[in-house]
Structure 1
Amino acid sequence: MAHPTIAVLERHLLLYRRLWRATVFSFFVVPTLFLVSIGLGVGAYVGDFDGIRYTHWILPGLMAMLAFQIGVSESTYGILTEFEWSGGFLTMRNTRVRIRDMIASWLLYVLFVLAIAVTVFLIVGLLFGGLKSVWTILTPFICGLVAVSVAAPTTAFSAHVRNDSYFPLLFRLAVVPATLFSGVFFPVEQMPAVVRPLAYLSPLWHGVELNRAAILGTPTAWPGVAHIGVLLSWLVLGWAVAQTTFRRRLMI
């Protein structure tokens, strides 16, 4: 018999079979539109950054942003559905599936969806000539770490709320500011010094820095291990809180 984590993952993948066509289409359209509209459009006015074309400069950030948004979006309605509407997690409570199996299987599911998105993004980036280094092969791992580092705390949040009215607040107060002010479209150093620490707290900024170093060969703002350490801290903290919220919801 399959391990409980794998069994639950298989369930998520079976459900995903109904949606994959729409999501894969969006994976093609979103990076292409961003690169064309912002990379080429805005880039015509911005010029180059440190001798790098703006289109190529934002490409690593857009990839990290995609990972960040997938980690959040997949862990909002998906988790709420399993608690409030389909009752999947409530049913699992009566089996040998443990809470850690539920959380681990969900994070693995997020990584599966992300793997498709990153593969598509790399193809688009290659067509735009933006992949400059052999270390680009590390970007799927970097994006995976970014995705789970935000998916874990988002999973905890979604397990806590009782309806989806909280999700617009999450996107407006957390996702949108992080997307705009984490170095994706302009260097964080151009922001006022008093607000830079907020960018440094964002998992997205650390993913952007690591991706940019891997794809363009530029140095990271902090040592690589420090960036990875922050992402792992978000993952560990999110996992711990998710364990608590799941236990309360399932009354275990």
Structure 2
Amino acid sequence: MSPSGLKAHSPEVAAQRARKYGSLYYAEHVLRAMRGYGWTIVASSVGTPIVYLFAMGIGLATLVDSRTGDQGLGDVSYLTFVAPALLATAAIMVANEEFSYPVMAGFKWRRTYYGPNASPLSSSQIVNGSVMAVTVRLALTCGIYFLFMLVFGAVPDATGWLSAIIAVLCGLSFGLPLMAYAAGIEEERGQFAMVMRFVVTPLFLFSGTFFPLDSLPMVVRWIGWISPLWHGTELGRVFSYDYAEPVWLSTLHVLYMVVLALAGWVVARKRYAGRLGK
């Protein structure tokens, strides 16, 4: 009996609950660990949209709109055009942060996966819990970012809030394949820096973020076609300001991101099971 008078579960009951709710337990563990750098999360979630949207709305957008008329791209301002792309980019950055070095740390540097794995929790539950926790952070970041988009007047349509949900999916479609990749790395030799330099940066530059993809030469346009950032950005624009796009293409955007996320999740579960032996 504990000092508070509450009776602890027997080992059998505790193990049974862990097997049943292990994913939620591990998600809680990761979220509690995030509290250690919680102010960094809040500061980046608030500071990033302020800086980017202010730069685009007061800086670059002013120049673009003055050169192309009051309505810079079709019937919307440049800020309205670029805001969904910045929202999706924020999700990509969070996913890159959470599914790279922390995964390596769980296997090698801090070995935080092995304790839970020695309990009734399975390796699949560790993967699921990690994904749940990062999804919560993605939702928080995208939600705050979207609120600032509203403040800056960058969301004309009432369905604009759906762009935040699309951004979360965009982050997972990039992050889960990265998680699978990170789970297969035995020794860190700058692979994540290479990912940032040769994957994230080109996606940011060539995914129709700052200008329509069809304005790029064909030699680099394919980068956008395979980029989850482009698919998330285009779909976010559809909901934010009624961007004209065929229904089949919007459906393709969703399917592409879902397939990427599911494929990454499946491979990650296999690699975690292989390394943790459970």
TM-score, normalized by the shorter chain, greater than 0.5: yes
Unaligned runs of 5+ in 1: none
Q: Which runs of 5+ in 2 are unaligned?
A: 1-16, 66-71
CA distance in 1, matches of 2:112, 2:189: 17
Task: Kindly provide the CA deviation profile for residues 19-39 of structure 1, in whole angstroms up to 9, marking residues without a partner as x.
Answer: 111111111111111122234
1:28 to 25, 40, 46: 46
Q: Indicate whether 1:139 and 2:157 are aligned.
A: no
> Which position in structure 2 is the counterpart of 1:230?
256
Give the counterpart letter for 1:209 in structure 2.
E
Q: Does 1:205 align with 2:221?
A: no
Task: Report the counterpart of residue 244 of structure 1 in structure 2.
Answer: 270
Comparing 173-182 with 220-229, which one deviates more in the overlay? Answer: 220-229
Which amino acid letter does the alignment assign opposite residue 197 of structure 1?
W
Letter in structure 1 aligned against 2:137: V
Q: Does 1:154 align with 2:172?
A: no
Question: Residue 87 of structure 1 aligns to a residue in which SS?
Answer: coil
The one-letter amino acid of 2:202's match is P
Alpha-carbon distance in structure 2 between the residues aligned to 1:199 and 1:86: 36
Partner letter of residue 248 of structure 1?
G
Runs of 4+ in 1 over 6 A off after TM superposition: none
What one-letter code is carried by the residue in structure 1 that aligns with 2:266?
Answer: A
Q: CA deviation at 1:137?
A: 2.5
Tell me the TM-score normalised to structure 1 length: 0.94
Residue 171 of structure 1 deviates from its aligned partner by 0.2
Does residue 216 in structure 1 map to residue 258 in structure 2?
Answer: no
Q: Equivalent residue for 2:94?
A: 70
Q: CA contact under 8 A between 2:183 and 2:272: conserved in structure 1?
A: yes
Per-residue deviation, 1:164: 6.1
Take 1:69 and 1:248, find their aligned partners in 2: how far apart are those partners?
28
Alpha carbons of structure 1 residues 89 and 186: separation in structure 2 relative to 1, 3 Å: same
Aligned residue among 199, 202, 207 for 1:182: 207
**Partner of 2:69 in structure 1?**
none
- When normalised by structure 2's length, the TM-score is 0.86
The answer as to whether partners of 2:87 and 2:164 remain within 8 angstroms in 1 is no
1:95 to 119, 131, 146: 119
Equivalent of 1:41, from 44, 49, 59? 59
The residue that corresponds to 1:56 in the other structure is 80
C-alpha separation in 2, matches of 1:123 and 1:137: 9
Structure with higher Rg: it is 2
Q: Does the 8 Å contact 2:146/2:161 carry over to 1? A: no
Q: State whether residues 176 and 261 of structure 2, in contact with CA within 8 Å, keep that contact through their aligned partners in structure 1.
A: yes
Indicate the residue corresponding to 1:18 in structure 2.
Answer: 36
Contact 2:169 2:258 in 1 (8 A): yes
Asked whether the 8 Å contact 2:231–2:253 carries over to 1, the reply is: yes
Q: Percent identity?
A: 26
1:207 alignment partner, SS class: helix
Shift of 1:135: 0.8
2-structure distance, mates of 1:77, 1:57: 33
Letter matched to residue 30 of structure 1: T
Q: Paired residue for 2:141, among 96, 117, 120?
A: 117
Residue correspondences, number? 252
